[in-house]
Structure 1
Amino acid sequence: MRTRIITAIVALAIFVPFVIKGGIPLTILISLLGVIAVGELLFMKKRLLVSFEALVSFVAVVVTILPNSFWRLLPAPAFLNPRTLIYLFIFLLLLTTVLSNNKLSFDDAGALSLGVLYIGFGFHFFLQARAENWMAFVFGLIIVWLTDSFAYIIGRKLGKHKLIPKISPNKTWEGSIGGTAVATIVAIIFAESTHFATHFSLFEIVLATLVLSIAGQFGDLIESALKRYFGVKDSGTLLPGHGGILDRFDSMLIVMPIIVLIGLTA
């Protein structure tokens, strides 16, 4: 527990100033985190971090993460855009299955392609939410952190009924509902006091909060399912006591895209 607390303090001391600053510094940091997260996926897949498919995946995730403003300012031909490049990277991974005589299998290429999209778009929308509406971004952070924290606390104290034991044996229905309840109450108070989403009615804010809290828990469960499939306890070891980047950002990678897509940042 001591290691976990120390790691959390150090990580927040590094991360929070970048989040507050935003812009290019945050983009660079998030791109680096995206590369590390893909590295964790490669490690779980037992692929070399210096292989061709690793290099392609690293470049692809950065291209996916980069904000839209970067591409608008880039002095390049119109065809040089994220969609074209992402397709090219996926094609290269598929081509590698042929040229490597299936040493890189279709399953490997598929996992890396999906992983790049999951990680890349998750972090892309993280940056977009931060850039478009600071309060909406904080709203998302509040929901994720409170849901996670109180699901753990309430689950430890009152949890009796397992949520999905084959995927995450420690999570309970009591913790899940309790975490969502606390996060919803606090997030609604925050939304009503800051008036950051005046284009949403109170009912829509309540509904959005519930959806985001539940989605965040699914993000956690998706990561748990991934680790179960590969037979690992944590996605990585970068953060002692916490695991890897995928372990810490699993909920964010689902919540931030939803915040942008439902129009909370508008």
Structure 2
Amino acid sequence: MALNVQTFKTRSLTAVVFVVVMLTGLLWNHWAFFILFSIIHFGCWTEFQKLVGLIDPDYTNITPFHKYGVKLAGWCLMLYFTNDQFSIFGMHLHELGWWLGLLFIFILPIIELLFAREIKPKNIGYSAIGLVYISLAWGLMMDLRSSFVPARAGFTVSPESWGKLITCALIFSIWINDTMAYMVGSLIGKTPFSKISPKKTWEGTVGGAILCVVVIALLGYFTAPANGYAVIHWIIIAAIAAVVGTAGDLAESKLKRVANVKDSGHIMPGHGGFLDRFDSLLLAILFVWLYIQLALK
């Protein structure tokens, strides 16, 4: 019992610290947002490479240039998706990301040819998957933070406020969905949802999604302009986050199962690693971004 109490205290303290750090990065300013998700980007990459190495030991033999170069190349992708708000020494970060990205495209293959004992296309493929799975997702997150929806779509807030609203709505949707799914599943869950994640139930999954949509709709009503056309977008964003986020959670669970590990990392005691915390968000970002481009732009 003492162990359970200690575990609960550890998990609770970690959760509080996690929420404070996330809210600081989300709400302070665009630079805090950029720094926060840059750290998350590199953390996710480190755990992804570890998991792939457990699944296929050949991947552990990639050169340091490949191992760290692909992380930096992915970070350049993040830089590319920033806007003119982000500039340093008179240069916009998206321009810096573009030119550094081109440099990596030319230099990394040459260095790999010179120093690798054997070039294995499958290892390049694993890294390419990481660029799409991790770097593109966080790049699109930067684009969401920098985006602006015209007033004709039902929003009359400033670009800065809009960026905060949409990223917070997305992340809060994921948090609410996960929390409510756990609570509903614990109370009335009986029907297993997937063999990949035995603890998930249909009752918890559906209940979490419904409550997520309801809560975000209410938040959207009181936060965004109070008209039905605007609120319907928050409802759709919450629904996308709940459905696709659950798929993202299952995908990462499958990855861990194949790698034969319980957690992707141990950066957050009691909660696992970066991928454990952001698996749902990584996949949901892409679909929310697509919805905004198609429906609101």
Bin of the TM-score, shorter chain as denominator length: 0.7 to 0.9
Q: Aligned with 2:176: secondary structure?
A: helix
Identity of aligned residues (%): 25
Of stretches 146-155 and 127-136 in structure 1, the one that deviates more from structure 2 is: 127-136
Write the deviation string for residues 97-116 of structure 1: whole angstroms up to 9, x where unpaired: 896344x6333221222112
Q: Which has the larger radius of gyration?
A: 2
**Partners in 2 of 1:98 and 1:216 — Cα distance?**
41
Cα deviation, residue 198, structure 1:
6.2
Identify unmatched segments of 5+ residues in structure 1. Answer: none
Q: Aligned with 2:269: secondary structure?
A: coil
- The aligned runs of 1:61-210 (5 Å cut-off) are 61-66=74-79, 67-69=81-83, 75=91, 82=98, 85=101, 88-89=104-105, 92=108, 96=112, 100-102=116-118, 105-132=120-147, 133=162, 134-165=164-195, 167-195=196-224, 200=229, 205-210=234-239
Residues 1:39 and 2:46 aligned together? yes
**Partners in 1 of 2:120 and 2:70 — Cα distance?**
15
**Partners in 2 of 1:75 and 1:207 — Cα distance?**
37
> What is the identity, as a one-letter code, of the residue corresponding to 2:74?
V
Of stretches 9-18 and 67-76 in structure 1, the one that deviates more from structure 2 is: 67-76
Cα deviation, residue 190, structure 1:
1.7
**Partners in 2 of 1:191 and 1:23 — Cα distance?**
22
Write the deviation string for residues 25-84 of structure 1: whole angstroms up to 9, x where unpaired: 3212211221111111122233379822211122012112224326995759x9976498
**Partners in 2 of 1:196 and 1:87 — Cα distance?**
44
Higher relative contact order (CA 8 A, sep 6+): 1
The number of aligned residues is 263
- Alignment root-mean-square deviation, CA: 3.3
> What is the identity, as a one-letter code, of the residue corresponding to 1:258?
F
> What is the identity, as a one-letter code, of the residue corresponding to 1:176?
T
**Partners in 2 of 1:180 and 1:65 — Cα distance?**
29
**Partners in 2 of 1:44 and 1:202 — Cα distance?**
40
Q: 2:36 aligns with which of 2, 16, 29?
A: 29
Residues 1:9 and 2:24 aligned together? no
Q: Aligned with 1:171: secondary structure?
A: coil
**Does the C-alpha gap of structure 1 residues 108 and 100 become closer, same or farther in structure 2, counting only changes over 3 Å?**
same
Structure ranking higher in helix proportion: 2
- TM-score, normalization by structure 1: 0.84
Cα deviation, residue 156, structure 1:
1.6
> What is the identity, as a one-letter code, of the residue corresponding to 2:205?
S
- TM-score, normalization by structure 2: 0.76
> What is the identity, as a one-letter code, of the residue corresponding to 1:119?
I
**Partners in 2 of 1:115 and 1:243 — Cα distance?**
19
Residue 244 of structure 2: aligned partner:
215
Kindly report structure 1 stretches of 4+ aligned residues shifted beyond 4 Å.
70-76, 78-81, 86-91, 196-205
- The aligned runs of 1:231-246 (5 Å cut-off) are 231-246=260-275
**Partners in 2 of 1:158 and 1:83 — Cα distance?**
54
**Partners in 1 of 2:189 and 2:70 — Cα distance?**
40
Cα deviation, residue 183, structure 1:
0.4
Identify unmatched segments of 5+ residues in structure 2. Answer: 1-7, 54-59, 148-161
